[in-house]
Amino acid sequence: MSILSAESSGELEPERVALAGLLRACEPPSAALVRYVQGHGPEAAWQAVLARRAPRAVLSATAARVDGVDPAVLVARAEADLVAAARVGARLIGPPDDQWPGAAVSAFAGAMARGVRGAGPPLALYVRGRPLTGLPDRAVTVVGSRASSPYGTRVAGEMAYELARAGSVVVSGAAFGIDTAAHRSALQVVRSAPDEPRSVTVAVLACGIDRAYPEANRDLLDLIARHGSVVSEYPPGTVPARHRFLVRNRLIAAFGAATVVVEAGRRSGTLSTAAAAEQLGRMVMAVPGPVTSAMSVGCHLLLADRFAQLVTGADDVLTALGRTGRTGRLESRAVPGPHDGAVPGEDPRHPTDGLEPTNARVYDAFPTRGSTSVHELVVESGLPAATVMGALAVLQLHGLADQDGPQWRRVRPDRGTPPRQIG
């Protein structure tokens, strides 16, 4: 039963109520609460939180909003959240749902395994508009300064329009400046093709799904909800706050295969989105600007530190991601090799035996000594960025590569690094 039909009938799905209650009980991200829900299910976890018999880490994360409050009141608040969301056309989705963006959210597991702080995945999401399809494979995150220059606004707009026209979903945060330019330009594709059936843009909020922030962008958010999706992991009524923008940024980064920073000052919050993208294994790109512009200092720092790949337009972004044409995507085809029965990394003299050819090719692209970036591996191997990132995950699993911040290094089996175990 949908939330809208449930509201009219006076019934709400227990699992939805549980997810809504848990979202209200805990400020995200909370890795402890997510793990508990994954292990016990939303309803059992919700009942344990209400009865205050959950594990200590979960009780600590929910204490501020649950301790001393009558459980009936907490349930009533959760039900009210679902009704408030339904009134603005939003629904609550969680991991069991078909519409859950599992491929995008799965990146958080790897980040948490590496000890990245604040990398907890979302517990559930309020979504207004179309399903969250094509994330992250067919999506590109475009972000930048709220106080954008005419140059930045133009570059962001042209890039977002061309990306959307080529079949990509443009992800951003609905703020003034670069975000607004990216959303509006992606929506222009709908005007030129009114019957466009797919989502063209996704806006991730740092407030409740029933709010518009900034208020001046309310009409824009309504338009995004018709031709894309508006998303929030915060309960209805939640007001925007500085820490929520920083937390929200990790979702903006997760939803795109790459994050493009168009303009950013030296201390811009946009740089936290770039950092989150790198931590989640996404490509980071930056647009250079005038050396006299304070709004491009952040981009230049990313490029100078080799943290980001330089791009000047949609063509550069699509090429780096291995995509071509309106909807096409370059994909490598694995060819069976002569060592298919071997275990990768088992033979120190032939560490790539047993690897698929593309994975072995990425291993061979590493420099003999020192570390390298994903972009350099893309250039050296001649493979699409998505293929390289997938190969790095395989190499890391077999103990043949390791990550240090934005850099990667080759690991030789004879140096005592055992293959990683799953589970």
Sorted by where each begins, the domain ranges of the chain are 1-85, 128-324, 332-423
The CATH class that applies to domain 332-423 reads mainly alpha
Predicted pLDDT of residue 85: 98
CA distances from 64 to 11, 25, 281 (A): 29, 8, 33
Q: State pLDDT tens for residues 210-268.
A: 999 999 999 999 999 999 999 999 999 999 999 999 999 999 999 999 999 999 999 88
Q: At 192, which amino acid appears? A: S
Predicted pLDDT of residue 343: 64
Which range, of 101-110, 207-216, 326-335, 358-367, averages the lowest pLDDT?
Answer: 326-335
Predicted pLDDT of residue 419: 37
Say which residue, 225 or 1, is predicted with more confidence.
225
The percentage of residues in the chain with a pLDDT greater than 90, rounded to a whole number, is 66
Specify the pTM.
0.76
Segment 122-129 shows an average pLDDT of 98
Structure tokens at 140: 């590109």
79 pLDDT more than 50? yes
Residue 324 pLDDT grade (very low, low, confident, very high; cuts 50, 70, 90):
low
Residue 414 pLDDT grade (very low, low, confident, very high; cuts 50, 70, 90):
low
Segment 282-308 shows an average pLDDT of 94
Residue 4 pLDDT grade (very low, low, confident, very high; cuts 50, 70, 90):
very low
Residue 415 pLDDT grade (very low, low, confident, very high; cuts 50, 70, 90):
very low
**Calpha distance 352→216 (Å, rounded):** 56
Say which residue, 319 or 417, is predicted with more confidence.
319
Residue 359 pLDDT grade (very low, low, confident, very high; cuts 50, 70, 90):
confident
**Calpha distance 177→121 (Å, rounded):** 27
Residue 390 pLDDT grade (very low, low, confident, very high; cuts 50, 70, 90):
confident
Residue 162 pLDDT grade (very low, low, confident, very high; cuts 50, 70, 90):
very high
192 pLDDT more than 50? yes
Instruction: Name which of 31, 67, 28 is nearest 50 in CA terms.
Output: 67
Which range, of 157-166, 187-196, 341-350, averages the lowest pLDDT?
Answer: 341-350
The percentage of residues in the chain with a pLDDT greater than 70, rounded to a whole number, is 89
199 pLDDT more than 60? yes
Predicted pLDDT of residue 277: 94
Kindly report the CATH number that applies to the domain delimited by 128-324: 3.40.50.450
Residue 274 and residue 302 in contact, taking contact as beta carbons nearer than 8 Å: yes
